[in-house]
Amino acid sequence: MIRTTDHLSRPGRIPGRLWWTAGLLALVAAACAPAYRQGPQPSWTEERSALEDAERRLHQQERLLYAPRTETERDCPRACNLVANICGLADRICAIAARYPEDRGTGARCQDGRARCRHARDAISGCGCESGAAGTPP
């Protein structure tokens, strides 16, 4: 008796051995793939600490930006960098506040940070900072 490969030539038919091999490969691939695990969420204490740190750094950058200088001493690249830092920190404060919408205090801190960002951008409007360098509008 001669064995033929008719089962391979018929359309729509896949031999059992091929199914078994494909299934085994899928199983191995699934076992080797890293499992998606979301890391532990930071506690409110850690978040509050990060929020307070961002506010502290924002105020420090503001002090540097608004330090008394004569108009001829204006250092626009430095000012643009400070404003970018202020707006970035305001964004960080708002990101933390968004995770705690039930806490009105964090929402107020977000609004304060955004106002400080706008004020800092207005203060250096004559420098011609690129929009990315002076933070994005909230």
Domain membership flag for residue 132: no
- pLDDT computed for residue 5 by the predictor: 56
pTM over 0.75: no
Contact present, 85 and 61 (Cβ < 8 Å): yes
What are the pLDDT digits (tens) for 1-35?
Answer: 555 555 555 555 555 565 556 555 555 555 555 54
What are the pLDDT digits (tens) for 75-105?
Answer: 889 999 999 999 999 999 999 999 988 888 8
User: pLDDT averaged over the chain?
Assistant: 77
Number of domains in the chain: 1
What are the pLDDT digits (tens) for 32-78?
Answer: 555 445 566 778 788 889 999 999 999 999 999 988 775 556 688 99
Domain membership flag for residue 106: yes
Smallest CA-to-CA distance from 60 within 114, 111, 116, 105 is with: 116
Domain membership flag for residue 60: yes
Cα distance between residue 133 and residue 107, in whole Å: 25
Cα distance between residue 106 and residue 52, in whole Å: 10
Cα distance between residue 81 and residue 133, in whole Å: 6
| Alpha-carbon 105 to chain mean position | 22
- pLDDT computed for residue 133 by the predictor: 47
Smallest CA-to-CA distance from 109 within 126, 131, 92 is with: 92
Tokens 């200088």 sit on residue: 69
Domain membership flag for residue 37: no
Domain membership flag for residue 104: yes
What are the pLDDT digits (tens) for 119-129?
Answer: 999 999 888 88
